[in-house]
Amino acid sequence: MMTSFPSSLLPTLSPVVAFLRTLPLPSTHPSHPAAGAILATLKEAQQGYADMRGNWSVKCLEGQGKRLVVRAETVDALVTGREFREWVELMLGTAEVCSFLLSVLPALSFSPPGRI
């Protein structure tokens, strides 16, 4: 399945993430006095990012839907259906890769003390 994310990037990032997790705990660790405020700020930023991605997804789907309807009226329905299937497979593949990377490379990790 074709995706917009290069699969060759994960093996490159994994050692970097593993190394970063061996470093001493930063001041943003939950035991730090300022950690609560920092966590609240990070969660707010993540929510803003999620909202932005959601709005982008809606715009992406709306545009493709309109184009599909116009194209279906002027081109063979089977050809349009195949193109739509390819587009949906690309979108789903991209979403799967994003979901996988977010689970493997989390921004906020809840690993044992002493590790990031």
Neighbours of 28 (CB within 10 A): 14
| Alpha helices, H only, 30-106 | 35-74, 77-104
The predicted pLDDT at position 18 comes to: 84
Residues of the chain with pLDDT under 70: 1-5, 25, 27-28, 32, 105-116
Q: What is the pLDDT of residues 40-66, one digit of tens each?
A: 888 888 888 878 877 877 777 777 777
The predicted pLDDT at position 88 comes to: 84
Distance CA 19, CA 40 (A): 26
The domains of the chain are located at 36-107
